[in-house]
Amino acid sequence: MPEQIGFIGLGIMGKPMAKNLLKAGYSLTVYDIVGEPVEELVTEGAARGSSNKDVASKSDTIITMVPDSADSEAAILGPNGVLEGAKAGSVVIDMSSIAPLVSQRIAAECANKGVEMLDAPVSGGEPGAINATLAIMVGGKQEVFDQNFDLLKTMGSNVVLTGDIGAGGITKLANQIIVAANIEALSEAMVLAQRAGVDPEKVFNAIRGGLAGSAVMEAKGPMMLDRNFRPGFRIRLHQKDLRNVLQTAQELNVPLPATALMQQILGALVNEGEADSDHAAILHFIEDLAKVEVKRGG
Protein backbone atom coordinates (compact mmCIF):
# COMPACT_ATOMS: atom_id res chain seq x y z
CA MET A 1 0.00 0.00 0.00
CA PRO A 2 1.51 3.39 -0.99
CA GLU A 3 2.39 5.50 2.02
CA GLN A 4 0.56 8.69 1.10
CA ILE A 5 -2.24 9.25 -1.44
CA GLY A 6 -3.42 12.63 -2.68
CA PHE A 7 -6.90 13.08 -4.12
CA ILE A 8 -7.87 16.19 -6.09
CA GLY A 9 -11.46 16.68 -7.24
CA LEU A 10 -14.28 15.68 -4.87
CA GLY A 11 -17.36 15.95 -7.07
CA ILE A 12 -20.15 13.45 -7.68
CA MET A 13 -17.60 10.78 -8.58
CA GLY A 14 -14.47 11.87 -6.75
CA LYS A 15 -15.96 12.16 -3.26
CA PRO A 16 -17.20 8.56 -2.98
CA MET A 17 -14.03 7.27 -4.64
CA ALA A 18 -11.93 9.09 -2.04
CA LYS A 19 -14.15 7.71 0.72
CA ASN A 20 -13.50 4.17 -0.50
CA LEU A 21 -9.75 4.79 -0.25
CA LEU A 22 -10.19 5.96 3.34
CA LYS A 23 -12.27 2.87 4.16
CA ALA A 24 -9.50 0.69 2.73
CA GLY A 25 -6.98 2.26 5.12
CA TYR A 26 -5.08 4.56 2.78
CA SER A 27 -3.62 7.76 4.20
CA LEU A 28 -5.30 10.50 2.18
CA THR A 29 -4.75 14.22 1.61
CA VAL A 30 -7.59 15.86 -0.30
CA TYR A 31 -8.29 19.12 -2.12
CA ASP A 32 -11.15 20.63 -4.09
CA ILE A 33 -11.96 24.19 -5.10
CA VAL A 34 -15.30 23.66 -3.28
CA GLY A 35 -14.84 23.55 0.47
CA GLU A 36 -17.81 21.45 1.55
CA PRO A 37 -16.68 18.02 0.28
CA VAL A 38 -13.18 18.68 1.66
CA GLU A 39 -14.67 19.25 5.12
CA GLU A 40 -16.71 16.07 4.78
CA LEU A 41 -13.64 13.99 3.93
CA VAL A 42 -11.63 15.59 6.72
CA THR A 43 -14.29 14.58 9.25
CA GLU A 44 -13.88 11.01 7.99
CA GLY A 45 -10.12 10.99 8.48
CA ALA A 46 -8.50 12.66 5.48
CA ALA A 47 -5.95 15.44 5.76
CA ARG A 48 -6.81 18.80 4.23
CA GLY A 49 -4.68 20.05 1.36
CA SER A 50 -4.51 23.78 0.70
CA SER A 51 -3.85 23.47 -3.05
CA ASN A 52 -3.00 21.00 -5.79
CA LYS A 53 0.68 21.72 -5.15
CA ASP A 54 0.27 21.15 -1.42
CA VAL A 55 -1.48 17.81 -1.96
CA ALA A 56 1.27 16.66 -4.33
CA SER A 57 4.04 17.68 -1.93
CA LYS A 58 2.54 15.43 0.74
CA SER A 59 1.79 12.43 -1.48
CA ASP A 60 3.53 9.55 -3.24
CA THR A 61 0.60 8.96 -5.58
CA ILE A 62 -1.70 11.80 -6.67
CA ILE A 63 -5.16 11.06 -8.10
CA THR A 64 -6.98 13.75 -10.07
CA MET A 65 -10.72 13.53 -10.82
CA VAL A 66 -11.81 16.72 -12.57
CA PRO A 67 -14.34 17.51 -15.34
CA ASP A 68 -12.42 18.04 -18.59
CA SER A 69 -9.09 18.38 -20.40
CA ALA A 70 -8.51 22.01 -19.42
CA ASP A 71 -9.21 21.17 -15.79
CA SER A 72 -6.67 18.33 -15.79
CA GLU A 73 -4.07 20.56 -17.42
CA ALA A 74 -4.68 23.31 -14.87
CA ALA A 75 -4.66 20.95 -11.88
CA ILE A 76 -1.49 19.12 -12.92
CA LEU A 77 0.52 21.58 -15.05
CA GLY A 78 -0.84 24.95 -14.01
CA PRO A 79 0.35 27.46 -11.39
CA ASN A 80 0.30 25.93 -7.92
CA GLY A 81 -0.39 22.62 -9.66
CA VAL A 82 0.56 19.05 -8.97
CA LEU A 83 3.87 19.15 -10.84
CA GLU A 84 5.06 22.09 -8.76
CA GLY A 85 4.74 19.95 -5.62
CA ALA A 86 5.38 16.42 -6.89
CA LYS A 87 8.60 14.60 -6.09
CA ALA A 88 10.59 12.69 -8.70
CA GLY A 89 9.41 9.09 -8.57
CA SER A 90 5.85 9.96 -7.60
CA VAL A 91 2.87 8.89 -9.73
CA VAL A 92 -0.01 10.95 -11.09
CA ILE A 93 -3.18 8.99 -11.87
CA ASP A 94 -5.60 11.16 -13.83
CA MET A 95 -9.00 9.50 -13.55
CA SER A 96 -10.75 12.35 -15.36
CA SER A 97 -12.37 11.73 -18.74
CA ILE A 98 -10.35 13.92 -21.09
CA ALA A 99 -9.00 14.00 -24.64
CA PRO A 100 -6.33 11.31 -25.13
CA LEU A 101 -3.89 13.71 -26.79
CA VAL A 102 -4.09 15.96 -23.73
CA SER A 103 -3.27 12.99 -21.50
CA GLN A 104 -0.20 12.34 -23.64
CA ARG A 105 0.86 15.97 -23.37
CA ILE A 106 0.44 15.99 -19.59
CA ALA A 107 2.37 12.72 -19.30
CA ALA A 108 5.27 14.18 -21.30
CA GLU A 109 5.47 17.14 -18.91
CA CYS A 110 5.36 14.78 -15.94
CA ALA A 111 8.17 12.68 -17.42
CA ASN A 112 10.36 15.78 -17.68
CA LYS A 113 10.20 16.01 -13.90
CA GLY A 114 10.66 12.29 -13.29
CA VAL A 115 7.00 11.79 -12.43
CA GLU A 116 5.12 8.77 -13.81
CA MET A 117 1.54 8.99 -15.04
CA LEU A 118 -1.44 6.78 -15.75
CA ASP A 119 -4.60 7.94 -17.48
CA ALA A 120 -7.41 5.99 -15.85
CA PRO A 121 -10.93 7.21 -16.69
CA VAL A 122 -13.86 5.36 -15.22
CA SER A 123 -17.36 4.20 -16.09
CA GLY A 124 -20.19 3.30 -13.75
CA GLY A 125 -21.54 6.65 -12.64
CA GLU A 126 -22.24 7.67 -9.08
CA PRO A 127 -23.55 4.21 -8.04
CA GLY A 128 -20.32 2.61 -9.27
CA ALA A 129 -18.24 5.21 -7.45
CA ILE A 130 -20.16 4.67 -4.20
CA ASN A 131 -20.10 0.87 -4.42
CA ALA A 132 -16.50 0.64 -5.70
CA THR A 133 -17.72 -1.24 -8.79
CA LEU A 134 -16.35 1.16 -11.40
CA ALA A 135 -14.82 -0.03 -14.64
CA ILE A 136 -11.39 1.61 -14.75
CA MET A 137 -9.69 1.89 -18.15
CA VAL A 138 -5.98 2.54 -17.84
CA GLY A 139 -3.23 3.76 -20.14
CA GLY A 140 0.45 3.80 -19.17
CA LYS A 141 3.45 1.63 -18.42
CA GLN A 142 2.86 -1.96 -17.30
CA GLU A 143 5.11 -1.60 -14.26
CA VAL A 144 3.39 1.60 -13.08
CA PHE A 145 0.00 -0.06 -13.59
CA ASP A 146 1.13 -3.10 -11.58
CA GLN A 147 2.38 -0.90 -8.74
CA ASN A 148 -0.99 0.84 -8.50
CA PHE A 149 -3.34 -2.03 -9.30
CA ASP A 150 -4.38 -2.64 -5.69
CA LEU A 151 -5.05 1.07 -5.21
CA LEU A 152 -7.27 1.16 -8.30
CA LYS A 153 -9.06 -2.04 -7.28
CA THR A 154 -10.15 -0.24 -4.11
CA MET A 155 -12.30 2.00 -6.33
CA GLY A 156 -13.34 -0.36 -9.13
CA SER A 157 -14.25 -3.97 -9.75
CA ASN A 158 -12.84 -4.10 -13.29
CA VAL A 159 -9.39 -2.54 -13.78
CA VAL A 160 -7.76 -3.10 -17.18
CA LEU A 161 -4.58 -1.75 -18.77
CA THR A 162 -5.52 -1.08 -22.40
CA GLY A 163 -2.23 0.33 -23.72
CA ASP A 164 0.16 3.25 -23.39
CA ILE A 165 -0.75 6.74 -22.13
CA GLY A 166 -3.95 7.88 -23.85
CA ALA A 167 -5.28 4.34 -24.34
CA GLY A 168 -7.38 4.65 -21.21
CA GLY A 169 -8.95 7.77 -22.69
CA ILE A 170 -9.61 6.11 -26.04
CA THR A 171 -11.29 3.22 -24.22
CA LYS A 172 -13.47 5.64 -22.23
CA LEU A 173 -14.46 7.44 -25.43
CA ALA A 174 -15.50 4.10 -26.95
CA ASN A 175 -17.49 3.40 -23.80
CA GLN A 176 -19.28 6.74 -24.01
CA ILE A 177 -20.33 6.17 -27.62
CA ILE A 178 -22.02 2.92 -26.63
CA VAL A 179 -23.63 4.31 -23.47
CA ALA A 180 -25.13 7.30 -25.29
CA ALA A 181 -26.47 5.20 -28.13
CA ASN A 182 -27.95 2.68 -25.69
CA ILE A 183 -29.77 5.36 -23.69
CA GLU A 184 -31.15 6.91 -26.87
CA ALA A 185 -32.34 3.53 -28.18
CA LEU A 186 -33.93 2.69 -24.83
CA SER A 187 -35.68 6.07 -24.91
CA GLU A 188 -37.11 5.36 -28.36
CA ALA A 189 -38.30 1.91 -27.24
CA MET A 190 -40.00 3.30 -24.11
CA VAL A 191 -41.74 6.07 -26.05
CA LEU A 192 -42.93 3.61 -28.73
CA ALA A 193 -44.40 1.33 -26.07
CA GLN A 194 -46.09 4.27 -24.35
CA ARG A 195 -47.63 5.57 -27.59
CA ALA A 196 -48.86 2.06 -28.44
CA GLY A 197 -50.61 1.78 -25.08
CA VAL A 198 -48.33 -0.97 -23.75
CA ASP A 199 -46.96 -0.55 -20.23
CA PRO A 200 -43.27 0.48 -20.66
CA GLU A 201 -42.38 -1.25 -17.40
CA LYS A 202 -43.73 -4.56 -18.72
CA VAL A 203 -41.81 -4.05 -21.96
CA PHE A 204 -38.67 -3.35 -19.94
CA ASN A 205 -39.11 -6.50 -17.85
CA ALA A 206 -39.86 -8.61 -20.92
CA ILE A 207 -36.76 -7.62 -22.89
CA ARG A 208 -34.17 -7.06 -20.17
CA GLY A 209 -33.14 -10.73 -20.12
CA GLY A 210 -32.80 -11.00 -23.90
CA LEU A 211 -30.24 -9.77 -26.40
CA ALA A 212 -31.33 -6.14 -25.90
CA GLY A 213 -30.56 -6.31 -22.19
CA SER A 214 -27.55 -4.33 -21.00
CA ALA A 215 -25.99 -2.68 -17.99
CA VAL A 216 -27.19 0.63 -19.46
CA MET A 217 -30.77 -0.63 -19.58
CA GLU A 218 -30.59 -1.90 -16.01
CA ALA A 219 -29.26 1.44 -14.75
CA LYS A 220 -31.35 3.87 -16.80
CA GLY A 221 -34.64 2.02 -17.40
CA PRO A 222 -35.79 2.29 -13.76
CA MET A 223 -34.76 5.95 -13.67
CA MET A 224 -36.92 6.66 -16.72
CA LEU A 225 -39.90 4.79 -15.24
CA ASP A 226 -39.48 6.63 -11.92
CA ARG A 227 -39.10 10.01 -13.70
CA ASN A 228 -35.89 10.32 -11.70
CA PHE A 229 -33.32 12.42 -13.53
CA ARG A 230 -31.17 13.37 -10.55
CA PRO A 231 -27.61 13.39 -11.89
CA GLY A 232 -25.48 10.33 -11.51
CA PHE A 233 -23.78 11.42 -14.72
CA ARG A 234 -24.70 14.85 -16.04
CA ILE A 235 -25.77 15.51 -19.63
CA ARG A 236 -23.20 18.32 -19.95
CA LEU A 237 -20.42 15.87 -19.07
CA HIS A 238 -21.61 13.30 -21.59
CA GLN A 239 -21.80 16.10 -24.15
CA LYS A 240 -18.18 16.95 -23.29
CA ASP A 241 -17.16 13.30 -23.72
CA LEU A 242 -18.78 13.07 -27.13
CA ARG A 243 -17.10 16.32 -28.14
CA ASN A 244 -13.79 14.67 -27.27
CA VAL A 245 -14.87 11.57 -29.24
CA LEU A 246 -15.63 13.61 -32.34
CA GLN A 247 -12.45 15.69 -32.08
CA THR A 248 -10.39 12.51 -31.77
CA ALA A 249 -12.30 10.89 -34.62
CA GLN A 250 -11.64 13.92 -36.83
CA GLU A 251 -7.92 13.71 -36.08
CA LEU A 252 -7.99 10.02 -37.01
CA ASN A 253 -10.33 10.51 -40.02
CA VAL A 254 -12.94 8.12 -38.59
CA PRO A 255 -16.60 8.89 -39.48
CA LEU A 256 -18.92 8.40 -36.49
CA PRO A 257 -22.41 9.32 -37.73
CA ALA A 258 -24.45 8.02 -34.78
CA THR A 259 -22.12 9.72 -32.31
CA ALA A 260 -22.50 13.02 -34.14
CA LEU A 261 -26.29 12.69 -33.90
CA MET A 262 -26.06 11.96 -30.16
CA GLN A 263 -23.89 15.04 -29.71
CA GLN A 264 -26.62 17.12 -31.35
CA ILE A 265 -29.30 15.58 -29.11
CA LEU A 266 -27.28 16.34 -25.99
CA GLY A 267 -26.71 19.90 -27.20
CA ALA A 268 -30.44 20.37 -27.67
CA LEU A 269 -31.08 19.11 -24.14
CA VAL A 270 -28.50 21.53 -22.75
CA ASN A 271 -30.38 24.33 -24.51
CA GLU A 272 -33.57 23.10 -22.83
CA GLY A 273 -32.00 23.56 -19.39
CA GLU A 274 -31.11 19.89 -18.90
CA ALA A 275 -27.32 20.30 -18.63
CA ASP A 276 -27.27 19.06 -15.04
CA SER A 277 -29.87 16.31 -15.46
CA ASP A 278 -28.77 12.69 -15.59
CA HIS A 279 -28.16 11.45 -19.11
CA ALA A 280 -31.24 9.26 -18.68
CA ALA A 281 -33.03 12.53 -19.56
CA ILE A 282 -32.16 11.81 -23.20
CA LEU A 283 -35.65 10.33 -22.86
CA HIS A 284 -37.05 13.88 -22.75
CA PHE A 285 -35.77 14.61 -26.26
CA ILE A 286 -37.63 11.61 -27.71
CA GLU A 287 -40.71 12.33 -25.60
CA ASP A 288 -40.80 15.90 -26.91
CA LEU A 289 -40.68 14.70 -30.51
CA ALA A 290 -43.56 12.27 -29.94
CA LYS A 291 -45.55 14.44 -27.48
CA VAL A 292 -45.65 11.46 -25.13
CA GLU A 293 -44.57 11.02 -21.51
CA VAL A 294 -43.36 7.59 -20.43
CA LYS A 295 -44.93 6.38 -17.19
CA ARG A 296 -45.54 3.17 -15.33
CA GLY A 297 -48.81 1.47 -16.23
CA GLY A 298 -48.75 2.64 -19.83
Same domain, 178 and 140: no
Give the orientation angle of helix 167-195 with respect to helix 215-226, to 10 degrees: 50
Q: 10 Å Cβ neighbour count for 43? A: 8
Separation between Cα atoms, residue 194 and residue 297, nearest integer Å: 9
Q: What is the pTM of this model?
A: 0.90
User: How many domains does the structure of the chain reveal?
Assistant: 2
Q: What is the pLDDT of residue 1?
A: 52
Could you tell me what percent of the chain has a pLDDT over 90? Answer: 98
Cross-strand bridge partners of residue 92: 62, 117
| pLDDT computed for residue 297 by the predictor | 82
3-state secondary structure of 138: strand
38-42: average pLDDT = 97
- Check if 113 is active-site: no
Do residues 68 and 13 share a domain? yes
CA distance 252 to 204: 38
SS3 for 93? strand
In a domain, 128, yes or no: yes
The stretch 149-159 carries a mean pLDDT of 98
Catalytic residue among 172, 220, 240, 291: 172
Answer yes or no: do 12 and 89 share one domain. yes
Residues 250 and 143 in one domain: no
Single out the residue in 100, 130, 165 at which a domain terminates: 165
For residue 156, report the phi and psi dihedrals to the nearest 5 degrees: -145, 155
pLDDT tens track for 219-275: 999 999 999 999 989 999 999 999 999 999 999 999 999 999 999 999 999 999 999
Q: Tell me phi and psi for residue 225, to 5 degrees.
A: -65, -35
Whether residue 298 is contained in a domain is answered as no
Whether 180 is in a domain gets the answer: yes
pLDDT digits (tens, 9 = 90+) for 162-175: 999 999 999 999 99
Tell me, what CATH number does 239's domain have?
1.10.1040.10
| Residue 211 domain flag | yes
Q: Are 9 and 157 in a shared domain? A: yes
Residue finishing a domain among 144, 165, 186: 165
Whether 13 and 158 share a structural domain? yes
Cα–Cα separations (whole angstroms), residue 288 to 191, 231, 259, 265, 281:
10, 20, 20, 12, 11
Judgement on whether residues 61 and 43 belong to the same structural domain of the protein: yes
> What average pLDDT does the segment 189-217 reach?
97
**20 pLDDT above the threshold of 60:** yes
142 plus 177 within the same structural domain: no
Q: Which of 165, 183, 209 is the last residue of a domain?
A: 165
Is 297 domain-assigned? no
CATH code, 137: 3.40.50.720
pLDDT in tens, 83-113: 999 999 999 999 999 999 999 999 999 999 9
Please check the confidence at residue 66 and state whether its pLDDT lies above 90.
yes
How far from 206 is each of 200, 211, 216, 221, CA to CA, in Å?
10, 11, 16, 12
pLDDT recorded at residue 3: 75
Question: What domain range includes position 21?
Answer: 5-165
Q: Does one domain contain both 215 and 127?
A: no
pLDDT at 32 over 60: yes
Q: Does residue 265 fall inside a structural domain?
A: yes
pLDDT at residue 2 above 60?
no
Cβ within 8 Å of residue 211, ≥6 positions away = none
Assigned domain for 227 exists: yes
Please check whether residue 17 lies inside any domain of the structure.
Answer: yes
Regarding whether 97 and 187 lie in a shared domain, the answer is no
**Cβ-based neighbours of 140, under 8 Å, separated by 6 or more:** 107, 116, 117, 118, 119, 120, 161, 164, 165, 168
Q: Tell me the one-letter amino acid at 230.
A: R
**Statement to judge: residues 141 and 242 lie in one domain:** no
Same domain, 156 and 24: yes
